[in-house]
């Protein structure tokens, strides 16, 4: 699974399930920024839960440094089993939550 293409698919699903077309382009951008931040935090928590204690300590140490996103993802892919599975699960959960919220908003 390609995480980047999954993320693009997520954006497409969020746009289609959240009635974003009802918002102005600026509001849509703000919503996507918020969704991205929420999803990123969720993914990091899922990855941390899949780390051993020693790897988690090393990970926290990396976060205290000014490292690139590429280095961070490289570390995660090296130390977390089934990154793609955890990512897919997070994307599915997030899409379901957005869909549920949208349904409640409409009714």
Residue 25 domain-assigned (yes or no): no
Residue 95 domain-assigned (yes or no): yes
Q: Write out the DSSP string of the chain.
A: --HHHHHHHHHHHHHHHTTGGGS-HHHHHHHHHHHHHHHHHHHHHHHHHTS-HHHHHHHHHHHTS---HHHHHHHHHHHSTTHHHHHHHHHHHHHHHHHHHHHHHH-
Output the pTM of the full model. 0.70
Q: Tell me the residue range of the domain where 107 lies.
A: 83-107
C-alpha distance from residue 88 to each of 28, 32, 49, 92 (Å) = 24, 18, 15, 6
Task: Provide the pLDDT for residue 71.
Answer: 92
Please check whether residue 63 is in contact with residue 47, taking contact to mean a CB–CB distance below 8 angstroms: no
Residue 1 domain-assigned (yes or no): no
At 1, is the pLDDT very low, low, confident or very high (cuts 50, 70, 90)? very low
| 7/47: higher pLDDT | 47
In terms of average pLDDT, the best of 1-5, 6-10, 81-85, 98-102 is 81-85
pLDDT (tens digit per residue) in 54-82: 999 999 999 999 889 899 999 999 999 88
How many independent structural domains does the chain possess?
1
Please check whether residue 32 is in contact with residue 11, taking contact to mean a CB–CB distance below 8 angstroms: yes
Residue 59 domain-assigned (yes or no): no
């Amino acid at each position: 699974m390609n995480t980047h293409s999954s993320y693009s698919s997520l954006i497409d699903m969020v746009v289609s399930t959240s009635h974003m077309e009802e918002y102005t382009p600026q509001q849509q951008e703000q919503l996507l920024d918020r969704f991205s931040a929420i999803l990123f935090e969720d993914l990091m928590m899922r990855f941390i839960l899949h780390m051993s204690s020693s790897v988690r300590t090393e990970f926290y140490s990396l976060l205290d440094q000014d490292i690139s996103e590429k280095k961070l993802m490289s570390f995660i892919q090296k130390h977390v089993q089934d990154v793609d599975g955890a990512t897919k699960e997070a994307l599915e959960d997030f899409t379901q939550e957005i869909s549920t919220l949208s349904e409640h908003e409409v009714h």
